[in-house]
Amino acid sequence: MIFSVLLTDMANLFLQSSASECILVSMLAARAQAIKNLKKENPDTEDSTFLPRLVAYCSQEAHSCVEKAAMISLVKLRILEPDDRCSLRGCTLREVRINMIVMTTDFAVCDVSNSA
């Protein structure tokens, strides 16, 4: 359940959510914004046509919820190698983007790791 609602009486309403839900909602929102931007260039194109072009990025250190969110969002996820400090760096992203041959649209970078 994305949002579970607990009603004890009409005065009390609690929405419970998790970090995984936050990642999913954020990825869906980023995907919607990317499609909206792509539609400006191609207004007659169906939204689903843009999905194969969308690519999200995360590091190997990211939580598994990022991979699940990408699957649910129907977008490609490139899992990148972190640096020696377990961080995903901009230079790594630049290098990957330069080496990509296929025309894609980058729309999300997510690096959620265990804070414990």
Q: For 22-50, what is the mean pLDDT?
A: 91
pLDDT band with cut points at 50, 70 and 90 for residue 15: very low
DSSP 102: S
51, pLDDT greater than 50: yes
| pLDDT of 39 | 93
4, pLDDT greater than 50: no
Higher pLDDT, 40 or 111: 40
Please report the domains of the chain, with CATH numbers, ordered by start residue: 19-109 (3.40.640.10)
Rounded to two decimals, the pTM is 0.73
Amino acid at 82: P
